[in-house]
Structure 1
Amino acid sequence: MKRFVAFLLACALCLMVLAGCGGAPVGSAPLSQPGAAADPGAAPAAGAAITLTFGHGQSEAHSFHQAALYFKQLIEERSGGAIAVNVQPNGALGDEKEMAEGLQMGTVDMVVCAVATLTGFDPALDVFNLPYLFESREQGIAVLDGEIGQGMFENLEGQGLKLLGFFDLGFRSMTNSQHPIAAPEDCKGLRMRTLQSNVLVEGLNTFGIDAVSMSFGELFTALQTGAVDGQENPISVIDASRFYEVQKYLSLTEHMYVVLPLLISTKTWEKLSADQQQMLLECAQETVQHQREENLANYEAELADLKANGMEVNEVDKAAFQAAIQPLYDTYAGQFGATVEKIRAVKG
């Protein structure tokens, strides 16, 4: 009988030990559950107390993805593995609008997206979608990092989205399958996909383009099937997305500097300690700088790759495009005029 009791006690002790090994420490629940189809190189660190899901719409070949992995490495190392990052490329968490809404709900932790995605949250941000608003990349960065950019994006915090910084992809240019574009009259009749921005749609219409809004995830197929003749995007996106397989002509219109906020859900932010918030902010700022440098350094190689893959590349008469877009500025003078003046007063 004594042996039997001893046996039962030993079994109970083993079960208690196993339960302790298998359970998570108190307070270790992740802020968000990792999404489906995770990138193999972006698996969250084992045993992390917090897992941040970082979504973007570009491929693994794009600088967005490399920057997300850079951020992941920084914060996992500095937190000693207590904070992990699960990077989700290729729109695995939905299109940019769906990911931004995920930030509001707290189902997605971090996102980088085009500002056009956010105009539904704050229509004032649509000013950044005016063609030929910025003279240079340097001016764009100076505006966004300065009082104007920081002030305009602060308004999003009340809606659940907190700004961490801005990535850089330079300017958007046009591609199509029909003919080169050298002047506004060459745009007439082309059906072209663009961002979900009323201002940008109207701007392209001003050039004679039949502009249609469409999610990025649908774009390649639309180009392949001829549902649209062309699209407009930065060089890095055109190259990483292999649009040269379905587009012949690249015209360097450089009609819009892309504003790309890096955002975190305020629900996520508020769950972090003050020390964790500071660490995350520092890692985000270092990541922004790294991404900008990489994007600038890769431009010539990406452009050469597009040419090597058969795209015909041409310069355009930018002065003619800038003159052609002036009626759009007149239309929006009452809504955006004061902001446009402030932006144009900033020197890059």
Structure 2
Amino acid sequence: MKFRHLALAAALVAASASVLAQDIRDRVVKFGHLVQPGHPIALGAEKFAELVASKSGGKMKVREYGASVLGSEAQQVSALQGGVQEMFAPATTSVASLVKEMSLIDTPFSFSSAKQVDALLQGPFGQAMLKKLEDKGLVGLDYWETGFRNVTNSRKPVTSPEDVQGLKIRVMGNPLFLESFSALGTNPVPMAFGELYGALESRALDAQENPYSIVLTSKFYEVQKYMSVTNHVYTANPVLVSKKFWDRLTPDEQKVLRDAAREAGAYHRALSREVAAKDRQALLAKGMQINDVSKETIAKMRAITKPVADKFAATYDPALVELYRAEMKKIHETVH
């Protein structure tokens, strides 16, 4: 027992010496996000802060600012570019306004599993996209997630492409989303999220699309009877650092942030998927009727929206589009 204590003490001394040997200074890092406490992204940010403190010997301190207290997605991205905010985890849909190729990740009906998502984002294409952000004053460390989006509505379960036709549905104000839902025969409406519950309650809208967690925490089950698991879009959240801030860091400090973001990312993604399964059960307990849309129906919807995706892809960097398509082909053949 005595030798075990001595070994532990020696290990702690060695770890402390390792940190002291690094070129790390006292720094405060503001990390912004949009979600409420307890959401997987918030918990990921908390884990990230713990890891940064541990890896820097307590010198680098991450302060989390959630629930949009630092502003909207556009405002926080701009703050990173200007160097007045250090970190942010926005959705790819907003980052696509700066790097349009990021929309390839949001291509409807691309993924059939989280494993396929991870294969794309942790592989050559995902890393190429993070690298491309540097020209816009941003450094990407990893991909976290909001997760797969599903359709809810007040009319009937969606079991075929025809079932969505005519639905007045709220979607994000992203051109790819708007045109894809139009191709499916819906009447897509971009609307501020804060107005959505009232519009569903009054039946001004028939439907909306969001991950399980948003449907549950926003209580959409009170005004939407049906959820159809379409998994039509996966929303990723790249973890971004202001390049102006990044360039002031020492290599050791950069390594602390990069390693911590990746470790926290693995923790966050596993937690996010575990929470999604629990949220589905919670929605069923609230009385929501949930049906899994068949692979055949998903394939038909993918075929209907493909011309829209191809139209947008034709305006992107051809090399990145080629890389994306090659990676997706390989993933569909080998990852299930």
Q: TM-score, normalised by structure 1?
A: 0.79
Distance 1:343 1:133, change over 3 A: same
Which of 240, 257, 278 is residue 301 of structure 1 equivalent to? 278
**SS of 2:247's equivalent?**
helix
> Using the alignment, how far apart are the partners of 1:100 and 1:271 within structure 2?
19
Whether the 8 Å CA contact 2:151–2:208 is kept in 1: the answer is yes
Matched residue, 1:150: 127
Matched residue, 2:325: 340
The runs of 5 or more residues in structure 1 that have no matched partner are 1-47
Amino acid at match of 2:265: V
Whether the 8 Å CA contact 1:95–1:217 is kept in 2: the answer is no
**SS of 1:192's equivalent?**
strand
Number of aligned residue pairs: give it: 301
State the Cα deviation string for residues 309-338 of structure 1 (Å, max 9, x = none). Answer: 221111223422422332432344363563
> By how many angstroms is 1:342 displaced?
3.4
Matched residue, 1:72: 49
Whether the 8 Å CA contact 2:91–2:236 is kept in 1: the answer is yes
Whether the 8 Å CA contact 1:203–1:325 is kept in 2: the answer is no
Distance 1:230 1:53, change over 3 A: farther
Whether the 8 Å CA contact 1:126–1:197 is kept in 2: the answer is no
Matched, 1:205 2:182: yes
**SS of 2:47's equivalent?**
helix
Distance 1:270 1:242, change over 3 A: farther
Comparing 144-153 with 324-333, greater Cα deviation is found at: 324-333
Whether the 8 Å CA contact 1:129–1:197 is kept in 2: the answer is no
Matched residue, 2:84: 107
Matched, 1:317 2:287: no
Whether the 8 Å CA contact 2:109–2:301 is kept in 1: the answer is no
Whether the 8 Å CA contact 1:55–1:91 is kept in 2: the answer is yes
Distance 1:112 1:219, change over 3 A: farther
Matched, 1:136 2:113: yes
Whether the 8 Å CA contact 2:112–2:231 is kept in 1: the answer is no
Matched, 1:57 2:34: yes
Which of 106, 119, 124 is residue 96 of structure 2 equivalent to? 119
Distance 1:84 1:171, change over 3 A: same
Matched, 1:276 2:253: yes
Distance 1:270 1:245, change over 3 A: farther
Distance 1:247 1:60, change over 3 A: farther
Matched residue, 2:266: 289
Matched residue, 1:175: 152
> Using the alignment, how far apart are the partners of 1:97 and 1:52 within structure 2?
19
> Using the alignment, how far apart are the partners of 1:201 and 1:128 within structure 2?
16
> By how many angstroms is 1:281 displaced?
0.9
State the Cα deviation string for residues 81-122 of structure 1 (Å, max 9, x = none). Answer: 322222122222222222222221223221112211111111
State the Cα deviation string for residues 151-206 of structure 1 (Å, max 9, x = none). Answer: 12311111111111111344211112333222221112222222232112211112
**SS of 1:61's equivalent?**
coil
Comparing 73-82 with 293-302, greater Cα deviation is found at: 73-82
Show the 5 A alignment for 1:240-255: 240-255=217-232
Question: How big is the alpha-carbon RMSD for the aligned residues of Structure 1 and Structure 2?
Answer: 2.2
| Structure with the larger RCO, 1 or 2 (CA within 8 Å, 6+ apart) | 2
> By how many angstroms is 1:150 displaced?
0.7
The runs of 5 or more residues in structure 2 that have no matched partner are 1-24, 315-320
Bigger Rg over Cα:
1
